[in-house]
Amino acid sequence: MRIILYVVWALFVAAAAFAMVHAARKTRRQEQLMAAWPKAQATVTGSVPGWTSGGGGSSRSRRFFPTYQFSDSAGTLYTGKSEISRAAEPVPGSLIEVAYNPDNPNESLQVSPVPRTTLGCLVPFFAVFALALFWFISIFPLD
């Protein structure tokens, strides 16, 4: 029975590690793209409501993804939707910074340290959680 618990633990750790590596690569790729792209101040035009997944036994909560418009260096107006959600609905007319692809200004990303900060907090959390689970499995009474 203990071996089964260790196998489940190993699968959990492997899945969490895979998800974190995938998220880190995606974040790094976006940061590299944004470093080379021109920046612009975008005006929030509204938001698209969404929900958190409610994973891990937590309750689902409402989130808002800002929609915005900005002008490129030629003055052409473009619109976009942020991938970074907010707990509070963004105020239309407020400003956010975006980076846009100069070859295709329809491709834009909100400039924010939030994804890196979130990932930086999740890595130690999952490491401690995995160690705690490993310890718990070792002391779990199977009689």
The token pair at 128 is 């401690």
Q: Is the pLDDT of residue 54 over 80?
A: no
Average pLDDT, the chain: 88
Kindly report the three-state secondary structure assignment for every residue of 23-92: HHHHHHHHHHHHHHCCEEEEEEEEEEEEECCCHHHCCCCEEEEEEEEEECCCCCEEEEECCCCECCCCCC
Percent of the chain with pLDDT over 90: 53
What is the arithmetic mean of pLDDT over 9-29? 91
| Residue positions counted in the chain | 143
The Cα–Cα gap between 76 and 78 comes to: 7
Residue 134: pLDDT band (50, 70, 90) is very high
Q: Is the pLDDT of residue 66 over 70?
A: yes
- Whole-number pLDDT of residue 92: 95
Residue 7 sits at φ, ψ, to 5 deg, of: -65, -45
